[in-house]
Structure 1
Amino acid sequence: MTVRPPRALSPNFSTAGAFNVLEYELMSERADALGRHGLKVEKALAALAALEGDVGAEQRERILDEAADAVWAFFIQREICGLRDSRDAVRRYGIPKEVMARLGIVRRKPSEA
Structure 2
Amino acid sequence: MSVRPPRFFDRHHSTGLNVLEYELLSERADALGRHGLKVEKALEQLRERTAAGCGADQRQALLDAAADAVWAFFIQREICGLRDQRDLIRRYEIPKEVLARVGIVRKPEPGRS
Give the TM-score normalised by the residue count of structure 2: 0.82
The answer as to 2:24 corresponding to 1:17 is no
Write the mapping of 1:97-108 to structure 2, written as runs, cut at 5 A.
Answer: 97-108=96-107
In structure 1, how many angstroms separate the alpha carbons of the residues matched to 2:66 and 2:84? 19
In structure 1, how many angstroms separate the alpha carbons of the residues matched to 2:100 and 2:107? 17
Which residue pairs with 1:85 in the alignment?
A: 84
Alignment: residue pair count: 99
In structure 1, how many angstroms separate the alpha carbons of the residues matched to 2:17 and 2:33? 24
Q: CA-atom RMSD, angstroms?
A: 1.7
Percentage of identical aligned residues: 68
Supply the AA of the counterpart residue of 2:38. K
Gaps of 5+ in 2: 1-9
Gaps of 5+ in 1: 1-12
Structure 1 residue runs of 4+, over 3 Å off? none
SS at match of 1:25: helix
Once the two structures are TM-superposed, the CA of residue 94 in structure 1 deviates from its matched residue by 0.7
If you compute each CA radius of gyration, which structure gives the higher value, 1 or 2?
A: 1
Give the TM-score normalised by the residue count of structure 1: 0.82
From the two aligned structures, give the one with the greater helix fraction: 2
